[in-house]
């Protein structure tokens, strides 16, 4: 009986850990995705802020379907987000 309870507790414990880990893992990927999306937008529309870019006409062909990324990009520029702080947040303290 005691053994069974212990076993159940152990299972629960590991489940919790799994959930925690899983959430942590998605956080990391989410962060990465957001970064990648930002880079993708910057890659295309960097000419607005003086970065080397693909030919303008390619950027313009894609601009109409990239509302989210472009808004994200401007948000970044406007709030000048502290990217490093967010990174340590996501990764947790060492």
Partner 1 sequence: MKILFFVGKGGVGKSTLSALYAVKLARRGKKVFLNSIDPAHNLHDIFCINLSSTPREIIPGLAAVETDLNIWVKKYLKETERELKSVYKYQEAFNLHKYFKTLKYAPGIEEYAVFLALEDTVKESKTEDIDFLIFDTPPTALTLKFFALPSVSLIWLKELKIFRQTILDKKEIITKIKSGTRGGLIEKDPVLKRIDTLIARYEEFFSVLKAPHISSVFVVLNPFKLSRSESLLIQQELTNLGINIPYVILNKYTGDDEFMHSLKKEFKDSIIGIMETQNGEIEGVETLDSLELPVGIEQL
**What mask of x and - would describe binding to partner 1 in positions 34 to 53, judged by CB under 8 A?**
--xx-xx--xx--xx-----
Measured N-to-C along each axis, helices 2-45 and 67-79 cross at an angle, to the nearest 10 degrees, of 90
Compute the distance between CA of residue 48 and CA of residue 42 in angstroms, rounded to an integer: 9
Stretch near partner 1 under the rule CB under 8 A, chosen from 1-9, 10-18, 67-75, 79-87: 67-75
The two three-digit tokens of residue 35, written as one number: 């970064």
- Tell me: does residue 87 bind partner 1 (CB under 8 A): no
User: Do residues 54 and 44 touch, judged by C-beta distance below 8 A?
Assistant: yes
Q: What are the residues binding partner 1 (CB under 8 A)?
A: 22, 25-26, 29-30, 32-33, 36-37, 39-40, 43-44, 47-48, 54-58, 60-67, 69-71, 74, 77-78
């Amino acid at each position: 009986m005691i053994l069974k309870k212990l076993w159940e507790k152990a299972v629960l414990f590991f489940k919790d850990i799994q959930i925690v880990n899983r959430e942590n893992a998605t956080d990391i990927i989410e962060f990465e995705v957001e970064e990648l999306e930002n880079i993708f937008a910057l890659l295309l529309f960097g000419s607005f802020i003086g970065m080397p870019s693909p030919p303008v006409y390619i950027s313009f062909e894609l601009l109409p379907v990239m509302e989210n990324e472009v808004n994200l990009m401007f948000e970044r520029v406007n709030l000048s987000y502290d990217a490093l702080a967010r990174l340590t947040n996501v990764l947790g303290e060492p």
